């Protein structure tokens, strides 16, 4: 599935922030999504850790609970869209002013990105890994939208366990 590049960037950034909350990882993902002034530091990460926990709720819930969580994020991030152009990009919507600090911009961008996907009818594209013990969240861009694992490795781990369990119960019937 293809998403609008800039508006969905917030959802991908949200997943990255939840999965690997480090300054280096956040800087990398922000730069990949052409976010203005993308450099994060440890102080920013300290402020964003509680936010990442709130973002996780949107990936791990569905229906009205998911929409309410995303709506609360929008309010708390004080999203007020404005039309801007920067770094050679054409005009596009920003959920926070360009001149605000990184934490404010990341909060607004992640809240707006998740809310946009939900409002576009793509709420089921926000998910979390089904393997017990794995806490990875993701934005499902697969063609059929039925992704349940964060990686092939997690899917294989679950499938091998199921296969071995079936073999054990099948061989004991003897």
Query: Residues 39-92: pLDDT tens digits?
Result: 999 999 999 999 999 999 999 999 999 999 999 999 999 988 888 888 888 888
Helix count and strand count (H, E) for the chain = 6, 4
5-126 folds as Jann2411-like fold (1.10.3300)
Q: Is the pLDDT reported for residue 94 higher than 60?
A: yes
Contact 18, 52 (CB under 8 A): yes
Contact 48, 16 (CB under 8 A): no
Residue-range domain boundaries for the chain: 5-126
Query: Residues 119-162: pLDDT tens digits?
Result: 999 999 999 999 999 999 999 988 888 888 988 888 888 778 88
pTM for this predicted structure:
0.84
Q: How far is CA 43 from the centre of its chain?
A: 21
Q: Which helix (H) or strand (E) holds 55?
A: helix 42-60
pLDDT value of position 21:
85
Q: Is the pLDDT reported for residue 37 higher than 60?
A: yes
User: Rounded to whole angstroms, how far apart are CA atoms 102 and 51?
Assistant: 13
Average pLDDT over the chain, rounded to an integer:
89
């Amino acid at each position: 599935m293809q998403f609008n590049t800039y508006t969905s960037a917030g959802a991908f950034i949200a997943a990255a922030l939840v999965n690997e909350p480090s300054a280096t990882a956040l800087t990398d993902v922000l730069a990949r999504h052409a976010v203005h002034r993308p450099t994060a530091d440890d102080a920013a990460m300290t402020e964003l850790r509680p936010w990442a926990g709130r973002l996780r709720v949107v990936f791990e819930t569905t229906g009205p609970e998911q929409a309410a969580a995303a709506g609360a994020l929008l309010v708390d991030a004080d999203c007020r869209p404005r039309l801007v152009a920067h770094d050679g990009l054409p005009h596009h919507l920003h959920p926070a002013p360009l001149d605000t600090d990184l934490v404010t911009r990341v909060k607004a961008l992640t809240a707006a990105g998740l809310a946009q996907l939900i409002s576009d009818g793509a709420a089921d594209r926000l998910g979390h890994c089904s393997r017990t013990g794995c806490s990875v969240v993701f934005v499902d861009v697969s063609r059929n939208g039925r992704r349940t694992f964060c990686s092939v490795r997690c899917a294989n781990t679950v499938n091998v366990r199921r296969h071995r369990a079936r073999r054990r119960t099948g061989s004991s019937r003897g």
